[in-house]
Amino acid sequence: MIVVMKRGATPDQIAHMIRRIEEEGLRPVPLYGTERTVIAVIGDERGEHRQSLASGPGVEEIIPILAPYKVASLEAKPERTVVQVGPLRVGNSHLGIIAGPCSVESEAQTLATARAVKAAGAHALRGGAFKPRTSPYSFQGLKEKGLEILALAREETGLPIVTEVLTPSDVPLVAKYADVLQIGARNMQNYRLLEAAGETGKPILLKRGPAATLDELLLAAEYILNTGNYQVMLCERGIRTFEDHTRYTLSLSAVPALHERTHLPVVVDPSHGTGHTSLVARMAAAAVAAGADGLIIEVHPDPEHALSDGFQSLTFQQFEELMALCRRVAEAVGKTLEPATTPETSLVAQVA
């Protein structure tokens, strides 16, 4: 941490801040520059309350030096985390493909999609049973009935299930059916939900909030990691910017930048990240080239009639074309889409 004093800071003010830093159990090193004095602070500066030093007399600003997260950092765990459930492996040389409808609408729609995405090479099935919807007037999901349909689809295809959970009290129910719990972008900082989901021990797909920095995403992951659950996949799904040609701006630099900071694998969602069917395949390919460890893609038998997100869903044929493109790009960057054969984690979620 660097405490930057104002240009006219008095010796008394500087002395006061030196004492305050010592009070915090840290070591101050005052540096008297040509234009102003700064006080370098040595020690573990983490703990947001230390930002209150910015209110000290004569202080201009506080500049943190250390990354605020710990266990998510590559420094804490230099070997990369690989998340595996059945045929899905996300991390290192494996590119994991998660595909399926935005919402589970019916058994027929879900099973048809599960078969189609499996045939095209996907490793897991996504599908929402509990849907967070911006408008209370929109379809809210089939809830437990939807989970049962997903379990059926898993039974038939062998694809593990990735599905969202919205609130802590639903975690036990959703975890009974799901193989991977998804925390949606709206809930990235819903800390009680992060903890409840983490405590199930199931792999977690944590989506980046549309206004979250990478530090904030990693701190959210840290809430999960601190439950002892290290099976966490981060997901870039687009940020809010001024752009109007897409629903969100898919920030692919997050992929290599996260790889520089954390051992956790990074999945990209080009469906939400663009909001337009016609852009999904190209941005999926770009994500793979950027080094993504996985993709999550919305696919629907009949997007025009979808109860949600039709405008960004692919038909079965469009998904096949995406897979062909991504397979070629994956090979170009040294990744494989082969299903995992030596499971590191078994398919744990079986409905009793």
Window 313 to 332, contacts with a copy of itself (CB under 8 A): 313, 325, 328-329, 331-332
Please, is 1 exposed, middle or buried when counting C-beta atoms within 10 Å of its C-beta (0-12, 13-18, 19+)?
Answer: buried
Q: Does 145 bind a copy of itself (CB under 8 A)?
A: no
- Nearer Cβ to a copy of itself, position 63 or 119? 63
State in angstroms the smallest separation of the CB of 238 from a copy of itself: 9
Nearer to a copy of itself by Cβ, of 53 and 151: the residue is 53
Q: With binding defined as CB under 8 A, does residue 43 bind a copy of itself?
A: yes
DSSP 8-state secondary structure symbol assigned to residue 249 = B
Q: Are 188 and 205 in contact (CB under 8 A)?
A: no
- Measured from the CB atom, the residue of 158 and 168 that comes closer to a copy of itself is 168
Residue placing its CB nearer to a copy of itself in the complex, 262 or 345: 262
- What residue has token string 């990354």? 67
**Contact flag: residue 22 with a copy of itself (CB under 8 A):** no
Taking CB under 8 A as the criterion, the residue among 13, 18, 68, 143 binding a copy of itself is: 68
**Distance between CA 228 and CA 231 in Å, rounded?**
9
In the complex, minimum distance from the CB of residue 157 to a copy of itself, in angstroms, rounded to a whole number: 25
Residue type, 22: E
Residue 136: how many other CB atoms lie within 10 Å: 6
Q: In 3D, which of 215, 176, 214, 171 has the Cα closest to residue 192? A: 171
Instruction: Determine if residue 174 is left, alpha or beta; phi over 0 gives left, psi from -120 to 50 gives alpha, anything else beta.
Output: alpha
The distance of closest approach from Cβ of residue 216 to a copy of itself in the complex, given in angstroms and rounded to an integer, is: 6
Q: Which stretch binds a copy of itself (CB under 8 A): 44-52, 83-91, 118-126, 342-350?
A: 44-52
- Please select the residue that binds a copy of itself; options are 108, 192, 317, 351, rule is CB under 8 A: 192
Taking the C-alpha atoms of residue 68 and residue 296, their distance in angstroms, rounded to an integer, is: 28
Among residues 11, 28, 24, which one has the least CA distance to residue 52?
24
The DSSP code for 211 is T
Q: How far apart are CA 322 and CA 39, in angstroms?
A: 54
Cβ atoms 335, 288 nearer than 8 A: yes
Angle at the Cα of 232 from the Cα atoms of 274 and 82, rounded to 5 degrees = 100
Q: Binding string, 75-114, against a copy of itself, x = CB under 8 A?
A: x---------------------------------------
Work out whether 128 is an interface residue with a copy of itself (CB under 8 A).
Answer: no
Task: List the one residue from 11, 79, 245, 341 that touches a copy of itself (CB under 8 A).
Answer: 245
Q: Which is nearer to a copy of itself, 245 or 341 (CB)?
A: 245
Among 152, 251, 321, 336, binds a copy of itself (CB under 8 A): 251
Distance CA 216, CA 65 (A): 15
- As a whole number of angstroms, the distance between CA 278 and CA 285 comes to 13
Subset of 219-238 contacting a copy of itself (CB under 8 A): 219, 222-223, 226
Q: Is 119 in the site for a copy of itself (CB under 8 A)?
A: no
Give me the least distance between CB of 229 and a copy of itself, in Å please.
Answer: 13
Interface stretch with a copy of itself, choices 35-43, 120-128, 172-180, 199-207 (CB under 8 A): 35-43
With CB under 8 A as the rule, give the number of residues binding a copy of itself. 114
Q: How far is the CB of 86 from a copy of itself (least distance, A)?
A: 28
User: In the bound complex, what is the minimum distance in angstroms from residue 239's beta carbon to a copy of itself?
Assistant: 6
Residues 345 and 325: their CA atoms lie apart, in Å, by: 29
Instruction: Show Cβ contacts of residue 212 under 8 Å, excluding neighbours closer than 6 positions.
Output: 188, 189, 220, 239
Nearer to a copy of itself, 203 or 209 (CB): 209
Using rule CB under 8 A, residue 303 touches a copy of itself: yes
Pairing relationship of beta strands 37-42 and 27-32 according to DSSP bridges:
antiparallel
